[in-house]
Amino acid sequence: MASQDWIDKDFYSVLGVSKDASQADVKKAYRKLARKYHPDQNPGDAAAEKRFKDITEANSVLSDPEEREQYDAIRAMGSGARFTAGGPGGAGGSAGGGFEDIFGDLFNGGGGGGRRRYTTYSGGGGGFEDLFAQFGGGQGGGFGGQSGFGAQGGFSGYQAPPAKGEDIHTTTTIPLRSAYNGTTVKLRRGNGQTTTVRVPKGVKDGQRLKIAGKGHTGPGGNGDLFVTVKVKEHPFFTREGLDVHVTVPVSVPEAGLGATVQVPTLDGGHVNVKIPAGTSSGRRMRVKGKGFTSGSSTGNMIVTVQIVLPAAINDAARQALEDFAAATEDFDPRADLGAQAAV
């Protein structure tokens, strides 16, 4: 197949895949279409036979990484334009020449000739600058001014854009309460300059923040600053997703008779939590809306009850416990333990 034909045919559309499709996707699409349009499945169907040939042709190019690279480059260069062959070194010349004749000169040492299919180019990078650079300075002295290429094979006047400065990567550690409320931190660079970074409410441990333009300076502009946030553990509050978990100790009378207890919150205040009568250790209660906020979502505070007895029990307390035990002697908290363990 000649290069002009490559410009005119969209092999990606033929196979129904995107231009960034993987080789595996190309192979999968080809097999599916080949089974559908194979002549054995469509005897006497000229349209199906034509479709099968197109599918096979597209696959032969896109399944070969080198040919696919050439195809992409030729399509990119040929979009919106067609080239006519000129004589050596200029725009006039023999009629009938086309885009393929340019490549005929390149791959065949400047000689003419008929249409050819080229499969030998394997340069890196994949752009036309790289393709022509392989042949700059060859026979004919490169392309003339009207063709848009310099004598070295690259685009005339082309130069790489100036590089941006390097990015900076750093880490900062903040308290859990600062992650809950949001905060700002000041980071000092090696040159003594400081950068103030806003840490948003609800930031997670290990989350990375990007501050554009605060990296090192370069000819093409500044790089970016990336800050990884570490959140300290708290002795009372713990975080699970957007929820805040706390464990609240209660006395035996509070758990047995019921009570209302004050529980601190991460915002610096407190909430009143009702402990129902007959509450056991491990029971959990939810306080809505007292968790972390991230965007439009807010978590809850989960309160876990833990019954705590005094380390030293005096005679009056002992007597009270004995009386309680006598009054509840029919209650066995381990009655179902054996059945649960046998499951």
**DSSP string spanning 283-314?**
-EEEETT-S-EETTEE--EEEEEEE---SS--
What is the residue-wise DSSP string for 157-173? T--PPPPPPPPEEEEEE
3-state secondary structure of 116: coil
Could you please state the CATH topology (level 3) that the domain comprising 4-72 is classified under: Helix Hairpins (1.10.287)
First to last CA, the chain: 71
Q: Which range has the worst mean pLDDT, 47-56, 124-133, 187-196? A: 124-133
How far is 135 from 69, CA to CA, in rounded Å? 17
Q: Which range has the worst mean pLDDT, 36-40, 95-99, 203-207, 232-236? A: 95-99
Note the pLDDT of residue 157: 57
The residues spanned by each domain of the chain are: 4-72, 168-232, 237-314
Q: Output the six-digit token pair for 96.
A: 């009938």
How far is 176 from 125, CA to CA, in rounded Å? 48
Q: Do domains 4-72 and 237-314 have the same CATH topology?
A: no
Note the pLDDT of residue 4: 58
Q: Which range has the worst mean pLDDT, 99-113, 202-216, 245-259? A: 99-113
DSSP 8-state assignment for residue 141: G
Q: Which one-letter amino acid corresponds to residue 60?
A: S
Nearest to 151 by CA among 140, 162, 167: 140
Answer yes or no: CATH 2.60.260.20 is held by domain 237-314: yes
On whether the CB atoms of residues 89 and 146 are closer than 8 A, the answer is no
- pLDDT, averaged across the chain: 80
Q: Say whether pLDDT at 184 is over 70.
A: yes
Nearest to 88 by CA among 76, 101, 71, 100: 101
CA distances from 305 to 254, 288, 328, 339 (A): 11, 17, 22, 26
CATH top class, domain 168-232: mainly beta
Rg of the Cα atoms in the chain: 38
What pLDDT, in 10s, does the model give residues 122-136?
444 444 444 444 444
3-state secondary structure of 198: strand
Note the pLDDT of residue 196: 92
Residues 48, 53, 54, CA angle at the centre, nearest 5°?
Answer: 95
Note the pLDDT of residue 171: 94
| CA within 13 Å, CB half, 324 | 10
Pairing of strands 225-231, 238-240: unpaired
Confidence of residue 230 (pLDDT cuts 50, 70, 90): very high
Q: Output the six-digit token pair for 224.
A: 């970016």
What pLDDT, in 10s, does the model give residues 139-169?
444 444 444 444 444 445 557 788 989 999 9
Query: Percent of the chain at pLDDT above 90?
Result: 53
